[in-house]
Structure 1
Amino acid sequence: MMKVKAREVGHSTVVSVPKSFGIETGKEYTVAIDNLGTITFEPIDVNPFAQMATGELYQDNKDILVDDDAKGLENVEY
């Protein structure tokens, strides 16, 4: 376990993260503090489908010959 020290920078309190942790510069996190004072940072996941055009995934399925009409039943026989 590593020890770090909080310091003031402008109007913020900063805790440095060691470079060895491999944190990507610019990566966004949600932050929470619990009733014991434990601070948790969780990376914000990027939605891989957010940039897709309407119907793009359906067209991709057709291109790879997936026989599904994308209506939610997955064309499964019961």
Structure 2
Amino acid sequence: MGDDHSQELRDLVSHLGAGIRDAHYRSAHDAAQNVCSGVFDKIPVNLHDVVHEAVMAGYAAAMSDLEEGKLDDRVRERAEIIE
């Protein structure tokens, strides 16, 4: 990956993670550590931070969606299937 492409990717991920609220930061960070621990040995070291930040952004977005009730119906449906 060229330096320009790498910087564009970092900028994109940084923008995605810009909305992580303080309330979600610790749980998003911990979740990203868990997810990334299984892939860090399979990806180049220079991508570790980018992947970690991308996972944090996704987790924090999901937490925000849950708070706003956007996923309630889906969660209920899956809970019914599990029971």
Question: Shared fold (TM-score greater than 0.5)?
Answer: no
Larger RCO (CA under 8 A, 6+ residues apart): 2
Could you say which structure has the larger radius of gyration? Answer: 1
Give TM-score scaled by structure 1 length: 0.24
Higher helix proportion (structure 1 or 2): 2
